[in-house]
Structure 1
């Protein structure tokens, strides 16, 4: 089982959008596509995450994890 580093929410309005980062550099996204389809889960690669969403992830990232998350995301 992967060890979780942290969860970062970039939710807007009433739709959830959360990224979970793991020690093995894997990223899981849990999101709502609409009010009837919630908690969809997918594994994503950094290149699949838009620059806009990467900016939001880093902005909402706890300071103690920021450097590690930036490395995983290959940010900027």
Structure 2
């Protein structure tokens, strides 16, 4: 089983958008397209995450995980 580092929510409205980071550097995104199409899941590589979303993720990241998440995302 994958060991989770942290979950980071970047929801900007009532639709969910959460990223889950794992120790093996995999990233799972759980999000809602709309109220009738919720909890969609996708596995992402860091290069698939927009710069804007990376900024949001780092801003919302718990301080104790920030360095590791920045490393996984190859964030400047």
TM-score, normalization by structure 1: 0.98
1:4 has 2:4 as partner: yes
User: What is the distance in 1 between the residues matched to 2:33 and 2:73?
Assistant: 23
Runs of 4+ deviating beyond 3 Å: none
Which residue does the alignment assign to 1:29?
29
Hey, what's the Cα distance between the residues in 1 that align with 2:25 and 2:13? 29
Alignment gaps of 5+ in structure 1:
none
Q: Which residue of 1 aligns with 2:63?
A: 63
Aligned-pair Cα RMSD in Å: 0.5
Mapped to 1, the partners of 2:11 and 2:35 lie a distance apart of 13
Corresponding residue pairs, total: 76
| Inter-partner Cα distance in structure 1 for 2:52 and 2:46 | 12
Match of 1:43 in 2: 43
Unaligned 5+ segments in structure 2 are none
